[in-house]
Homo-oligomer: A and B are copies of this chain.
Amino acid sequence: MEFSSKLLEKAVNEMAQLPGIGKRTALRLVLHLLKQPKDQTRFLTQALMAMREEIKLCKSCHNISDAEVCDICQNPKRNHHIICIVEDVRDVMAIENTNQFKGVYHVLGGKISPIDGVGPSQLTINSLVDKVKQGDVEELIFALSPTMEGDTTNFYIFKQIKDYPIKTSTIARGIAVGDELEYADEVTLGRSILNRVPFENSLKNT
């Protein structure tokens, strides 16, 4: 790409560093900002910079937070003895949206993935194991994505806490609500038969 302006070129190149944003898309976005009032660019850049400089990770659950301890961990109405283990803040948001979980979270910050150079020490696993050792935990819910990395991470954590007298569970795998049975993959369908639930349960929360 030949740019008529170094300023434009630099802005496009920086924008194209973002994942999934190619040079053409970056150019489209940057030209859009040029057509808008200067305030839009100012608000965008200030919001990004403020977020990057000031955001914290909750000391307890490692979720993204504005304060030292996040709202969920501060909430006395939540059950602090049931901990749901998730990969990142998006999973917390997804589960919170369901309004079905009244415990607290533990955000690992990723999954064990040797290919991506992520080992257990880069995740917040030690802090989770400490919570279990302190005896405050009744149940750990494993809610990582059902991928190879997710399963590896689950197993790595499970090995370290299996001797403590706590309940462990994983979120249920099965046919998504509204999905056609015939299009489900066989592993999912198989698990959903093995882990079938009493019929009365299926009437809850509907």
Contact = CB atoms under 8 A, between A and B. Distances in A.
A88 interface: yes
Contacts of A128: none
A183 interface: no
A58 to B, nearest CB: 8
Question: For this complex, into which size category does the number of interface residues on chain A fall?
Answer: 35 or more
Given A63-B4, A89-B4, A20 B30 contact: no
B14 A66 contact: no
A52 B31 CA distance: 10
Interface stretch (A35-43, A77-85, A155-163, A191-199): A35-43
Nearest to A49: B45
A97 B3 CA distance: 10
A129 interface: no
A27 to B, nearest CB: 7
16 contacts: A2-B96, A2-B97, A4-B63, A4-B71, A7-B47, A7-B54, A8-B55, A11-B51, A14-B44, A15-B44, A18-B32, A19-B28, A19-B29, A20-B28, A33-B51, A34-B64
